[in-house]
Amino acid sequence: MKTTRSTSSALRIGILGCANIARQFARDVAPSRKVRVDAVASRNAETAAAFAADHAIGRHHGTYEALLSDPDIDAIYIPLPNSLHAEWAIRAAEAGKHVLCEKPLALGAAEARSMFDAAARHGVMLLEAYPYYFQPQTGDMLALLREGAIGTVRSVQASFGFNLAKPQGNIRMNPELGGGALLDAGSYPLSLIRLVMGCAPQRVQADASWADSGVDISLAATLFYADGRRAQFDCAMDSAMHRRAMIAGTQGTIETEFLNHTSAEPAGDAHGYLPSQLRLRRGTAGTVPFENLQSATGSGFRFAAEAFAAVIARRDFDGIARAAAASIDIAATIEALAQSAKLGRAIDVQAG
């Protein structure tokens, strides 16, 4: 049976796993009155107990199954390795729990569809957790696009990369755990491209560099759309940190860093969060100055969790269906890009 709660009470979340990202999530969500982390699970009881003590979480479980059986949990947050997302999202749905799942949701489109099918069968909501999606800055960017501030979008360029300081033993270097730049970093710019373009590309052409472990260490690609639009993106795990997108329209351009977590302070934030740039040029000439736009700031983890709580409280299954369509498009695009990089030719995207 699906867990029920009053629409006026906080969403009770259980964290499935104790990775570093789970610690950041627990820390950032802690001040919220709309969501509350009430339990955590690990496959090691001592690890779960230590995590719970560190973050003042009331309950801890020594197995994932025990968390899914916890009657006082409404929703599960999944920060597990990419290869485990589908299994545990489906099992959580079968246990009647809503699911907030870290990106990338799935390793392919068929896997993503099976996850959403399970959620629908059991009357729960499943949402892919891209923290920047829920940043006020992203909402401001989408409002500009809707109002036609840059005319009709013709192209998008998006990039995200970072450097793995200690690649040896890192799960991102393990192909069996869904590692590689495309899945770990590329899903971010691809999600922004899908957000802006509103649909999946028709075909893709990708080129990658490969690590000895067999994962892609960097990848760049062009996405071709049925209406003649194009997008380009690149991702890397062997470069300095960078994260930026440029949206070109018929009447102007938008540039953004689309950061997961933001601060109004240029330095000195307690968690190292920084301001995220959003610039708008209303015009086609290079002489038109950019406007630097300011948005509200904060943790994308908290924004995402509170947005998820809101759609659950409203029973906004239509909103979840729109998000699901985007997630399936992203998964299908990732699948085609991986195939293109391996085969060295353009691949059609099997979305929809």
* Cα 329 to Cα 127: distance, rounded to the nearest angstrom: 14
Query: What distances in angstroms separate CA 112 from CA 105, 154, 288, 309, 333, one per listed residue?
Result: 7, 28, 43, 22, 12
Confirm if 223 and 231 have CB atoms less than 8 A apart: yes
Question: If you count them, how many residues does the chain have?
Answer: 352
Q: Give the containing element (helix H, strand E) for 90.
A: helix 85-94
Q: Coil, helix or strand for 100? A: strand
* Cα 13 to Cα 64: distance, rounded to the nearest angstrom: 14
Q: Which of 2, 97, 103, 166 is catalytic?
A: 103
Q: What is the Cα 277 distance to its own chain's centre? A: 19
Query: What distances in angstroms separate CA 207 from CA 188, 210, 218, 346, one per listed residue?
Result: 18, 10, 9, 10
Q: Going by DSSP bridges, is the β-strand pair 153-163/238-249 parallel, antiparallel, or unpaired? A: antiparallel
Confirm if 149 and 282 have CB atoms less than 8 A apart: yes
* Cα 119 to Cα 71: distance, rounded to the nearest angstrom: 18
Task: Clarify whether 342 is annotated catalytic.
Answer: no
* Cα 152 to Cα 250: distance, rounded to the nearest angstrom: 5
Handedness of CA 347, 81, 131, 161 (dihedral sign): negative
Q: Coil, helix or strand for 173? A: helix
The half-sphere exposure of 93 on its side-chain side, counting CA atoms within 13 A, is 23
Q: Please identify every residue annotated as catalytic.
A: 103
